Amino acid sequence: MTKFEPDDGLQNDHNPLEFPIRSIDNYLKHTHSAVDKLFAARYSYDELLLFPERRGFAAWGSDEEKIEKEYQKWAEQNKSQIEERLRRDKEFADEVFAIRTLCSAILQFGYMAIKQFSDNKSVPASFTEVIKPDSIPAKFCVGRLIDDIPLGLIVYAGRNQSHHYDDREHREPTKTVFFRLANWYSPRFGKHFQ
């Protein structure tokens, strides 16, 4: 069994079945490199979408025959780029499950940090119907608000959804969090709805 220095925040001679890190600062210190690598891996897939740039065809007028000829000429001139773009789009689509797996792992790091180190018991009024103050989900009612939902609850719901994606139905508060994210009026985007 590995022995750790007392000042590194880890328990010496710890039971391997117990969570060995005793502070959020040390949790972040000891997981930072793994999380950075997961984010780098996740973002590497975006390169498939960047190049080649997407070409678009635009034409005006009502002469459909002329527009069709212009389109055929444009399509021929851009054939190799269009084919490469379609190939890369398909390659990206084929990697969606891998991307989801990386995102799930990132959420798990956040989930464990909050679960182990949050002592929060207060629940926003908008969630009191689905979260009890002394429950595990109450620990996640922390962080900045994203459209009136604490970021910790979004981590909780995202992690549960990713780890239980094959469940027929999700439990609360996961259901409510996703419902609100999908259906609530967003103050951040309010200017688009005036």
Residue 149, both tokens:
């939902």
Q: How far is CA 110 from CA 30, 125, 158, in A?
A: 13, 24, 10
Per residue in 61-82, pLDDT (tens digit) is 999 999 999 999 999 999 999 9
Query: Could you tell me how many residues make up the chain?
Result: 194
Q: In the predicted model, what is the mean pLDDT of residues 97-105?
A: 96
Q: How far is CA 140 from the centre of its chain?
A: 16
Question: What's the mean per-residue pLDDT of the chain?
Answer: 88
Q: Give 19-65 pLDDT, tens digit per residue.
A: 678 899 999 999 999 999 999 999 999 999 998 888 899 999 999 99
The predicted pLDDT at position 190 comes to 59
| pLDDT given for residue 188 in this prediction | 61
% of residues, the chain, pLDDT over 90: 71
Report pLDDT for 64.
94
- For 107-135, what is the mean pLDDT? 96
- Round the CA-based radius of gyration of the chain to a whole number and report it: 24
pLDDT at 189 > cutoff 70: no
* Strand intervals (E) in the chain: 145-146, 149-150
Task: List the one residue out of 80, 98, 77 whose CA is nearest residue 88.
Answer: 80
Beta pairing class for 145-146 and 149-150: antiparallel
Residues 6+ apart with CB under 8 A from 144: 150, 151
